[in-house]
Structure 1
Amino acid sequence: MTKQKQHQNLSQPRDGGYTIIESLVAMIVVSVLMIAIAPVMAFSVATRVQARRTELATQAAKAYINGLRSQSIKFGGTIKGFPARYTTTNQEDLANAPVPGNNADLYCVDMDGTGSCETISTKDFYVQGAWLNPDPSITNNDPTLKGYQLLVRVYRADSFASGITLNPTPKTAKQSVVGSGLGDRTRPVVEMSTEIPATGNPSYKSILDRLKKTTP
């Protein structure tokens, strides 16, 4: 009888489960792994946010260009944002146009549906335009009848918040979707250039006429 009892005791499994020490070790291992991957996850999210912002800024730039071509944005019109004149003898120097001093005369793209652009918003954009046409017959800062080369810079609305100073040399200080994280408010999110043809002229004819006048 004693031997049978001993045999039964030996055949019974021991109590399962983790000890307190094993649980602590598991928690430490998980914590170390989370600390290791947290920066990668944060960088991934920030890059995704900046890529989305760049996409929306590109749409804002295209809307601005279309507004100029359709003349819904025009010199002296009710919609603010007609590009400012940039005077230079070098046709390729438009990228050096000065950055805006403030947002008073910039084109607003309301992305958060409030009805206006606010400098506390992280979704709204302000669009800066600068035009170049060395034709000396343009005397009233309205190049619509002649056509012009256009530079477009799209800034976050909060780039004009109090205490923010825009980078004065955006030509040499571009943003990077991969390396900029949530972005640098002192630089444009998007910068592009295009041609705005003279009224009634196809763009290639407008460019040809302008090149003829600037060729020595």
Structure 2
Amino acid sequence: MIKPKQQQIPPQSNQAGFTIIESLLAILVVTILMVGVAPVIVLSVATRVQAKRVEQGADAARAYIDGVRSGAVGAPNPPIATTAFSGNAAPSSALPSCPTSNSYCSGSQSLYCVNLDENNGCTSNSNKDLIIQAFRNGVPARPQNGYKLGIRVYRADAFSTPGPLKTMGVDKAKAQTFSAGALDRKSPQFETTTEIAGNNTSLRNLCARLRNPGNIANSCQ
């Protein structure tokens, strides 16, 4: 008579699956890694956003200058009295009405709206729109003689809070391309000067604009 062989039951392993403690430790490790990496990701994104905003400011200034040179955009008025453009005051913190995109704001021939969001015109509560402060020298009624043009590009939301706007010449202020610059709304995103040649520009006109007024021997004849 053949005896049936007794089937052996394999012993259960004490390492099968994860225990609750191991799962909690894994969650804790992942959480610590996320907490450590998250600030780096946030700073990286903020830096890219701010760098893009500064780049847009430079592009807006170039487009405005091209428009003035071609005659599509009128010359800013009135001309400033000072010959030192760096000392020209920043605009008031109260933004006038700017209902029309890519045009001068109402009642102003020196603040220009650059619309970059989905709404028409520029408003102080927009974090995308830009405001160009434009100023020039020369005779008020004769921009055709040519003039020196100054440009400062501000964020539209720089006008949303009280307090003076800043300039590079007076405050040594300029928007930074890294993340800290995103918090500095009052500084210009971009600032530059250029020469605009008019239809009647002459050597005497150029001399009058470019000469050093502090040098009495430097005269335009």
* Bin for the TM-score computed over the shorter chain: 0.7 to 0.9
After superposition, what is the alpha-carbon deviation per residue over 1:135-163, rounded to whole angstroms, capped at 9, x for unaligned? Answer: xxx3xx245132222111111111111x3
Contact 1:69 1:196 in 2 (8 A): yes
Name the counterpart of 1:20: 20
Shift of 1:86: 2.6
In structure 1, C-alpha distance between the alignment counterparts of 2:149 and 2:6, rounded to whole Å: 98
Contact 1:83 1:128 in 2 (8 A): no
Report how many residues are paired: 196
Contact 1:197 1:206 in 2 (8 A): no
Contact 1:50 1:181 in 2 (8 A): yes
In structure 2, C-alpha distance between the alignment counterparts of 1:45 and 1:179, rounded to whole Å: 8
The 3 A distance-change label for structure 1 pair 197 and 183 is farther
Contact 2:95 2:124 in 1 (8 A): no
The 3 A distance-change label for structure 1 pair 108 and 188 is same
In structure 2, the residue corresponding to 1:150 is in which secondary structure? strand
Name the counterpart of 1:79: none
Name the counterpart of 2:163: 165
In structure 2, the residue corresponding to 1:108 is in which secondary structure? strand
Name the counterpart of 1:35: 35
In structure 1, C-alpha distance between the alignment counterparts of 2:45 and 2:204, rounded to whole Å: 46
Moved over 6 A (4+): none
More helix by share: 1
Give the TM-score, by structure 2 length.
0.75
Name the counterpart of 2:151: 152
Shift of 1:74: 2.1
AA matched with 2:85: L
Contact 2:145 2:197 in 1 (8 A): yes
Matched, 1:87 2:81: yes
Give the TM-score, by structure 1 length.
0.77
AA matched with 1:152: I
Quick one: which of 88, 94, 109 aligns to 1:97?
88
In structure 2, the residue corresponding to 1:117 is in which secondary structure? coil
In structure 1, the residue corresponding to 2:72 is in which secondary structure? coil
In structure 2, the residue corresponding to 1:85 is in which secondary structure? coil
Calculate percent identity across the aligned residue pairs.
Answer: 37
Matched, 1:118 2:123: yes
Query: Where in structure 2 are there 5+ consecutive unaligned residues?
Result: 97-107
Name the counterpart of 1:184: 184
Shift of 1:4: 7.3
Query: Where in structure 1 are there 5+ consecutive unaligned residues?
Result: 76-81
Shift of 1:115: 1.9
In structure 2, C-alpha distance between the alignment counterparts of 1:73 and 1:182, rounded to whole Å: 30
In structure 1, the residue corresponding to 2:149 is in which secondary structure? strand
